Amino acid sequence: MKRDPGPDVPGAAPALPRGVRPLVVAAYVLLAAAVALDLATNPSLTFSPVLATAPALASLGTRSARVPLTTGLIALLLVAPLALADPGVALPVHLTAGATVLAITCVSTANVVLVSTRERQLLQTRSVAEAAQRALLRPAPERIGGLRIAVRYASAAAEARVGGDLYEVLGTPYGTRLLLGDVRGKGLGAVETAADVLGAFREAAQVEPGLDEVARRLDATVFRRGVGEEFVTAVLLGVPVRGGPAELVDCGHLPPLLWRAGEVVEIQSPEPDPPLALRQLNPGPYHLMRTPFVPGDTLVLYTDGVTEARDAAGRFYPLGERLAGLPDLTPTHLADRIVADLRDYTGGELADDAALLIVRRER
């Protein structure tokens, strides 16, 4: 994610939206025309009160308090020549115009200072959030154990830095183990749950020989939290280093998609397991599924922020259909194509965070 420039960086003033810029230019033109008319027309008529708009206009699109302050002082100085050009206008009218210009200058300057301070505080908060995300969601290796990996996390809001989607890729004594999950909760509680799940996975994946036992420990971790109705859907994937089928445990998550020679199929577990923290509602062991995963195959794991994204007509994003129409790509290029296509499909906005974890077995 790109970081926005800080409020104190030179040239970092926010650009005005395209639809606003013509209006501001038109306002400046009208202001200049009013001053010119005042100097050239009836001496019993004055336009000096319109000078109060100058500092307000100058405060738009700037983080520097000097801009509206300087503009306001210039406008205040212009009141005097306009008063001399309009001898037929009562002096209190010009004094009132000057007081209005001064008041609007003070208000505009104070507003710029306030907005700049709040933006600086927001930037600091976002920097802390970015650090928390880097600690929570560590960058996945591009190559590990004969696999090529790509991870993409698309946030629903530009300001968002930490959410409930989670992923991890680990090299273990039992091969490469991967996790993709989605916390069903909101706010800080969801982030804390995600942190607990990732911590438990990083430990259990290294010591538990069975992926089903890793899932059991994750379930116990989320259940012990006991925070409201929070639970986690997750899919665990294990790929042995020396070849052989991949292992899957689906904990109430969306089924992974397998791309093989241009064909896409869903890897549906014959015995779906409940999400993490809900195992006690249906007691029993987690079910380990093995599926062929040969060199050249690609597995796509995803959260519902991808498949539940909608276009303008309200139709869900057809991930499987779009994936089948793509050529044989590396995980990095495939992930980029999907994210770009998803943004285009939704018009650039997502209603929920979306995560992709793409795994390809190298030839």
**Secondary element (H or E) of residue 24:** helix 21-40
Report whether pLDDT(342) > 70: yes
What's 228's DSSP letter?
A: T
Tokens read off for 329: 């790509």
Of 180, 121, 178, the C-alpha closest to 147 is 178
Confidence at residue 227, expressed as pLDDT on a 0 to 100 scale: 57
**How many CB atoms sit inside 10 A of residue 152's CB?**
20
Of 150, 160, 233, 222, the C-alpha closest to 189 is 222
Compute φ and ψ for 155, nearest 5 degrees: -85, 145
Of 338, 216, 361, 199, the C-alpha closest to 288 is 216
Confidence at residue 181, expressed as pLDDT on a 0 to 100 scale: 94
Confidence at residue 199, expressed as pLDDT on a 0 to 100 scale: 93
φ/ψ region of 223 (left if φ > 0, alpha if ψ in -120 to 50, else beta) reads alpha
CA angle in degrees (0–180, nearest 5) for 196-202-204: 95
Q: Which region among 159-168, 222-231, 280-289 has the lowest average model confidence (pLDDT)?
A: 159-168
Contact, 43 vs 87, CB < 8 A?
A: yes
Percentage of residues of the chain with pLDDT beyond 70: 82
Handedness of CA 111, 113, 118, 123 (dihedral sign): positive
Summarize pLDDT for 190-241 with one digit per residue, the tens: 778 888 999 999 999 999 999 999 999 999 999 987 755 679 999 999 999 8
φ/ψ region of 228 (left if φ > 0, alpha if ψ in -120 to 50, else beta) reads left
Q: Which region among 3-7, 169-173, 262-266, 348-352 has the lowest average model confidence (pLDDT)?
A: 3-7
Confidence at residue 191, expressed as pLDDT on a 0 to 100 scale: 79
Question: What's the average model confidence in pLDDT over 106-132?
Answer: 78
Confidence at residue 27, expressed as pLDDT on a 0 to 100 scale: 67
Which residues make Cβ contacts (< 8 Å) with residue 274, sequence separation at least 6? 251, 252, 281, 282
Report whether pLDDT(160) > 60: no
Tokens 């507003």 found at: 111
Instruction: Fill in the amino acid letter for 341.
Output: D
Confidence at 149, pLDDT banded by 50, 70, 90:
very high
